[in-house]
Structures are given as C-alpha cells and as structure tokens.
Structure 1
C-alpha cells in the first residue's frame, strides 16, 4: 500500500507555523510548495533502503512509509523550509543599507535562523542514525 504525500505534509505542518500557507492553500499552491520541500527531504534521506519514488499523479509514495520515516522526512522538509528563509534574509541584507539593516535587526534574526537550521540538521542526523539502528535490528530478526 502506498503512502499519500498528505500524511508526510501533516507531520511537517505540525512543525512549521507560517500564515502564508493559509493564502497558498486558498490559491491551491500549497501542495506545490510542500512538494518542493519534500523533494529536498527525499534527497537528504540517505539512510533508508526504501524506494522513495513519488507518483505525482496519485500524490503518493510508491511504497508504504511508517511514522518514523514520515517524521524524518518532515524534519528534513523543515530544514529545507528554514534554509529558504535564510536565503531570503540574505537577499534582503544586500538590498538594505547598513543603517537600515541595523534598524530592522535582520542580522540577529538571520543568526537565530542559522542556529535553528544547525539544530534541525543535528536532530535529522540523530533521527536517521536511530532509524538505521532500528532497521538493522529488524533485519537481524
């Protein structure tokens, strides 16, 4: 049985609060944005031996994923999401002058986002290590 993409999206949306998702949902663009983050997550989920191929027409994975795998993908999607915010802020930094930049305190916000991404990368790595051990133990059974 295949796993619908919406199940992974649900895991992700619990982690991220972004009110722009409401307007994206109204215009029908939300799934497109979520899918872009999911593609990034699939590429980074290197510790799975499962085929993470997506049937885009059916909007589902071709294999069945358990909750642990969905959690890892959602965490990796969160990293992709935060990375896009960091990139956006770096572009903003280049547009504003030094005086304006200090007034808006974007540098502090950027530092916090970078620290958050670092923590999220560590969390994702820990999840994938735990996953690898779990899968290895299951293979021994």
Structure 2
C-alpha cells in the first residue's frame, strides 16, 4: 500500500505556523512542499524503506511508511523550510523601531534559528534511532 505525500505534508504543516504559506496559491504551495519533501528524503540516512521509490504523478511513496518515518520526514522538511528563512537576506537587514518591542540583533535571531534547526535535526535523529531498534521480529530485522 502506498503512502500519499499529503500525509507527510499534513504532518509538516501541523508542526509549523507560517501564515505566509496560507496565502500562497495551491500550485505554489504544492511546489514548495514537494521541494522540501525531496530535500527531506535526501537528509534521511539509511531509511528502512526505499524513499526514492516515488510516484510523482500520483504524489505518493510506493511503500507504506509508518508513523515514525512520516514524522522523521516532516522534521527534515522543517529543516529544509528553516534553511530558506535562515538564508533570507532580509533577516540580515531586520530592524525594529518600536520601543514597545525588545529588539534582537539579526545575528542573535540567526543564532536562535540555527539552534532551533539543530534541535529539530536532533529530534529527527532520535526518532530514526528509536525506529531502528523497534523490531517486532527477527525476520523483519533481517530484511
């Protein structure tokens, strides 16, 4: 049984709050999600299932992914998404002129984003490790 990209996309979108994504038209959003998913697949080290076995027309993996694998892909999608924000030029030029807000320097904001990205990467790697030890039988382990 196949796993739809939509399932992974929904998990990813449940983990972020970016109202700019809600304003995108469906074609642009789908293109971005697909790009982030492809990058997430490349970040996934030694998956048990062949994540490159895709059907791009049907927008699905040709294998059934378990919940942990879907969660790992969504975490790596978040990393890809965050890369676009970390590298945005306007973060370097950010300035707030209101006395009502505590101002963080662009360097501090970038540092916080990088630390968050590393934290998400660590979560994904922990899930990968746990999933690799979650073997219900010897036969499954020897596949």
Give the TM-score band, short-chain normalised.
Answer: 0.7 to 0.9
2: distance between equivalents of 1:127 and 1:27? 31
Q: Deviation digits for residues 95-137 of structure 1, max 9, x if unmatched?
A: x49xx69x77222211110110111111111111111111xx2
Q: Normalization by structure 1: what TM-score? A: 0.84
Where in structure 1 are there 5+ consecutive unaligned residues? none
Where in structure 2 are there 5+ consecutive unaligned residues? 97-102
More helix by share: 1
The RMSD of aligned alpha carbons is 2.3
State whether residues 91 and 110 of structure 2, in contact with CA within 8 Å, keep that contact through their aligned partners in structure 1.
no
Q: Deviation digits for residues 9-55 of structure 1, max 9, x if unmatched?
A: 0110011111111121x352111101111001111112312111221
Q: Deviation digits for residues 54-81 of structure 1, max 9, x if unmatched?
A: 2111011111111111001001111111
Q: Which runs of 4+ in 1 moved over 3 A?
A: none
